[in-house]
Chains A and B, each alone.
Chain A
Amino acid sequence: MSKQLAFYVDSQKCIGCFSCAMACKNMYHPEPGVKWRQVYPLSEDIYPHHERAFYSLACNHCEHPTCLECCPVGAYTKREDGIVVHDQDKCIGCGNCVRSCPYGAPQYNPKLKKAEKCSMCWERIDAKLEPACVQACPVKALRIIDLSEFDDAEALHYPPGFPRFESLNPSVRFKLPRHPHVVRRNG
């Protein structure tokens, strides 16, 4: 397999602090309302305690990105390291990518009338820095891995709640959250 950078989301460690999501805004200043990264609480049938386990998700930099395929003006490119880059100069704001991505990654910027999405901070990666969200994570629950070298039998590709779109092959891996032993009071 050729190089493919991916996000590793360790829900066992993740404390749902939203630092990753806000660090992204801090770096790119998207319009209020536009979020490249979001922290999703798992529904209670996946994790029994309300709003206590999360997946931090952004663009998955898929192996076969549908955003790239459906963009009429070629605003999307896939780099050699697997990062899917959206070029806003080329974007005409048709919204095809926004509609086509099943993971809701590209966002419509109403002010610029163009799409935008997580770039995996490729500028920072090229400058040998971690993506803003990864640096922000206080417990190292969010990491960058290279799938061509990644080998962890415990890691899940499609954990409960994360939709399975095998044709896209999203570049993300997960670790499931754990429950504490709970002793509730009587009376």
Chain B
Amino acid sequence: MEKERKSMNSSLLSEMSRRSFVKLLTAGGAAAMLHGGLLTPKAFAGPAKTAGGCKAFHSACQRNCYDTCAMLSYVDDGVLKYVEGDKQSTFTNGGLCVKGYSYPRRVYSPDRIKYPMKQIGRGTGNWKRISWEEAIDSICDKILSIKKEDGHLLGLALDKNSGSEGITNCAVIQGLFTGLGYTTRFEGSNCWPAGYDAQYFDFGDMVCNDPEDLANAGYIILWGVNPAWTSIHTMKFIYAAKERGAKVVCIDPVLTQTAAKCDEYLAPKMGTDGALALGMARHILDLGLADRGWVADNALGFPEFEQYLREKVTVQWAAEETGIPAETIARIAEEFAKAKPATAWIGYGLQRHTNGGRAVRSIDALVAMTGNVGKKGGGARYGQEFTWDFEYWPKSKMSPPAGSIGFVNPAKQKPGEPTVYSNRSLNRNQAAREMRKADPKIRMLWVSCSNPMSQYPNRNEMEKMYRGLDMLVVVDQFFTQTAELADIVLPTTTQFEEWQVNVSYWHYWLAINEQCIEPLFEAKPNTVISALVSKRMNELSPGSCTYQQDLTPKECMIRNFNDTIHKLNGISSWEDLLKGPVKAKRNPVSWAEGKFKTPSGKYEFLSAKAAEYGHPALPEYHSRRPNHDKFVILTPHTKFGLHSQFINLDWMRDFNPEPCVYINPNSARSKNIVSGDMVRVYNKFGEVAVKAQVTDNVPEDTLLMYEAWFKNDKFNVQNVLDDAVADMGAYQFGGHRGPAIQEQFANVEKM
């Protein structure tokens, strides 16, 4: 039988899984559960334990993910036994993803940070357990000494990012850091600023149709988005449209999993999406298929856009620019314009380019000129923040201690008027550069809900800057590559150990997260940690922090609700959510009324706002920056993780044991590389050693590795990324443009 098994393996399995298949037969070694011992199948059997024996709690997945799943968590005897999706949400319909189902192991992972820890010698791994008192004492002492020595707290910086989207985590930003005084904040978003601004220029807001409405589309272009990996619950709506006869087209430089499930897949050259959209637009004009009625009633600047297309754009030009044959561009354009309704879902990949915002504006224009904006089953879909109108308590209530000195913005300071102080804001997409030039210098950094070392570009520079700090405090659940550089790490709770509330930037559901188990070991929620610091600050120096000194996380969650949230979701109180998630009471079709939030109140092909921010007023095409090395490197998201989260878990390693770089067969041949070889991906910023996988899913000029943090593995794609920024983002993100993460270059060689 062993022989047959081998024959099955060789016929069925790829190189990689064959190895793991064999490995699983011999695999041993396991870490004990923290509570209740190992759950054997036997121990878990019996109808009682399948549902009834456990108590179910409402939870919400808080990762930075389109799907933001409403969950049910099953607890028996104080132990989280299993989780599932909440069927009351028609979006998830009872499902989670591979990451969501690994939560029980994440909670009880033997690798969780259990106690406050102090590192003797930064980066040495020489950790010592300390008490919460000692940890908070040394943090507060340091803050006070900075204040004393500098006369202000601009040397104290906060980097709170989106590793947990639980709303109460804003307590660190709005609460603790505002309460301490004027400080430095890393701001801007690694995610979507270029496309976000683009949609603001065009529509005056970023909001889109309910993803469940994709089922009504007659034609869907999935443009630089890979929902089969990053929004798995949206796939069923795409399939539903398909079953009703819709055509689904995927546009991506990589043959993604989504591409494999579409009717047609187009692989343009990197960073040429804008040219493709404009080429299509020109062809639609030529065929007389533009929806002139819609445009006349609802849009500003279509004549100018039309003139631009006629003067500067041809299908042939687009074909040369993108590498997609002219006939294909023309055919797709015609299909798109004739199918009613047609929609494009614009991903966050294609806008992470130096011409990314313009590309999004061009796709918006294509959708608008065909009259598909404001239509059921139509729309230029990007994301929404419509449902996010929480209190972000205690934002409105907080002010810095009296007499605090802060940053003076010369642009805002009028001569002769009293000095206006504010926080200092630095762009996290250029964190190393910003830290280097910061004056006054950043002396102490507090990181929460974030793993900058695995997520921000130019890692080697980042590390240098981090090593130059007087003190680095990291609040996390795991010893990430950022925590490795900390002086003090503070263990924080998972969503199961605290109260939270969550909404999505994609669908319109709102879900509450009940605390269902006690915090493990000495982990504490961000709200509590912040209050501890505030309390100690005031003991050491009365009046030095205006943030709350005690408030339960649940109370903090409750205070984040307001009338806007109640009204939008048709609830009278947060307690209504204890019955299950609710969906915003709004038209699932955005812009149906044809009233836009732009200065003109119309859809703006021609945007004076864009011009004001230094961009062309029209969605013009500009090519991306030239290559500075042999290959383009792409570092998108894997299905096994969210940025650096989940990939480190042993359960996840069962399915995703190690990182790899994907190389096209022709390039691999020229470099004498075969699948399984260790290779070095390198450029002038750094290098990364990784195993090669040869596949023509990636084009010849491209190397692809997933952003990831594996346990006990130095692998980090950020080593070879520079901090180039996208064209747009400065409008809505405090002057901070988005990252050009998907426009990076490196070379590769066999090790």
| Interface set of A (CB-CB < 8 Å, partner B) | 13, 15-19, 21-23, 25-35, 38-44, 46, 49-53, 55, 66, 87-89, 98-104, 107-108, 110-112, 116, 119, 121, 123-124, 126-127, 129, 132, 135-140, 160-163, 165, 177, 179-187
Contact flags (1/0) for B10-38 with A, using CB distance below 8 Å? 01111011000101110111110100001
Enumerate B227-270 residues with CB–CB distance to A below 8 Å. Answer: 228-229, 232-233, 235-236, 239, 250, 255, 257-269
Task: Verify B4–A181 contact, CB threshold 8 A.
Answer: no
How many angstroms from the CA of A41 to the CA of B17 in the assembled complex?
A: 8
Look across to chain B and name the residue whose beta carbon is closest to the beta carbon of A16. Answer: B257
Given A19-B232, A104-B5, A129-B50, are A50 and B98 neighbors across the interface (CB < 8 Å)?
no
Task: Verify A18–B639 contact, CB threshold 8 A.
Answer: yes
Task: Verify B651–A32 contact, CB threshold 8 A.
Answer: yes
Look across to chain A and name the residue whose beta carbon is closest to the beta carbon of B83. Answer: A26
A-B residue pairs in contact (CB < 8 Å), sample of 9? A17-B639, A18-B98, A19-B95, A38-B17, A38-B655, A52-B259, A119-B41, A138-B233, A187-B269
Task: Verify B260–A52 contact, CB threshold 8 A.
Answer: yes
- Closest A-B pairs by Cβ, 6 of them: A185-B323, A33-B27, A161-B12, A50-B695, A32-B650, A29-B39
9 additional contacts, CB 8 Å, given A161-B13, A182-B255? A16-B257, A18-B639, A41-B16, A50-B696, A99-B2, A107-B25, A160-B11, A162-B12, A180-B259
The 8 Å CB contact of B13, one of A13, A35, A43, is: A43
B569 at the interface (CB under 8 A from A): no
Instruction: Tell me which residues across on chain A come within 8 A of B260, comparing CB atoms.
Output: 49, 52-53, 177, 179-180
Instruction: Tell me which residues across on chain B come within 8 A of A43, comparing CB atoms.
Output: 11-14
Given A52-B255, A112-B40, are A42 and B12 neighbors across the interface (CB < 8 Å)?
yes
CB distance from A113 to the nearest CB of B (A): 11
Instruction: Tell me which residues across on chain B come within 8 A of A40, comparing CB atoms.
Output: 12-13, 17, 21
Task: Verify B11–A123 contact, CB threshold 8 A.
Answer: no
Task: Verify B7–A23 contact, CB threshold 8 A.
Answer: no
CB distance from B703 to the nearest CB of A (A): 15
Instruction: Tell me which residues across on chain A come within 8 A of B255, comparing CB atoms.
Output: 49, 52, 182
Instruction: Tell me which residues across on chain B come within 8 A of A30, comparing CB atoms.
Output: 41
The 8 Å CB contact of B229, one of A17, A44, A110, A160, is: A17
Task: Verify A35–B24 contact, CB threshold 8 A.
Answer: yes
Instruction: Tell me which residues across on chain A come within 8 A of B697, comparing CB atoms.
Output: 49-52
Given A27-B44, A88-B42, A108-B25, are A19 and B97 neighbors across the interface (CB < 8 Å)?
yes
Look across to chain A and name the residue whose beta carbon is closest to the beta carbon of B698. Answer: A50
The 8 Å CB contact of B651, one of A22, A52, A116, A165, is: A22
Task: Verify B47–A126 contact, CB threshold 8 A.
Answer: yes
| Interface set of B (CB-CB < 8 Å, partner A) | 1-2, 4-5, 7-8, 11-14, 16-17, 21, 23-25, 27-31, 33, 38-42, 44-47, 49-52, 82-85, 92-105, 228-229, 232-233, 235-236, 239, 250, 255, 257-269, 322-325, 328, 639-640, 650-655, 693, 695-697, 699
Instruction: Tell me which residues across on chain A come within 8 A of B264, comparing CB atoms.
Output: 180-183
Given A31-B30, A102-B5, are A138 and B232 neighbors across the interface (CB < 8 Å)?
yes
Look across to chain B and name the residue whose beta carbon is closest to the beta carbon of A28. Answer: B41
Instruction: Tell me which residues across on chain B come within 8 A of A22, comparing CB atoms.
Output: 98-99, 101-102, 651-652, 655
The 8 Å CB contact of B267, one of A13, A123, A184, is: A184
CB distance from A53 to the nearest CB of B (A): 7
CB distance from B68 to the nearest CB of A (A): 14
Instruction: Tell me which residues across on chain A come within 8 A of B84, comparing CB atoms.
Output: 23, 26, 132, 135-136
The 8 Å CB contact of A140, one of B1, B236, B267, is: B236
Task: Verify A21–B14 contact, CB threshold 8 A.
Answer: no
The 8 Å CB contact of A55, one of B12, B50, B263, B639, is: B12
How many angstroms from the CA of A25 to the CA of B101 in the assembled complex?
A: 8
Residue among A22, A119, A177, A181 with max Cβ neighbours from chain B (10 Å): A22
The 8 Å CB contact of A183, one of B2, B24, B101, B324, is: B324
Task: Verify A17–B98 contact, CB threshold 8 A.
Answer: yes
Task: Verify B328–A21 contact, CB threshold 8 A.
Answer: no
Instruction: Tell me which residues across on chain B come within 8 A of A140, comparing CB atoms.
Output: 236
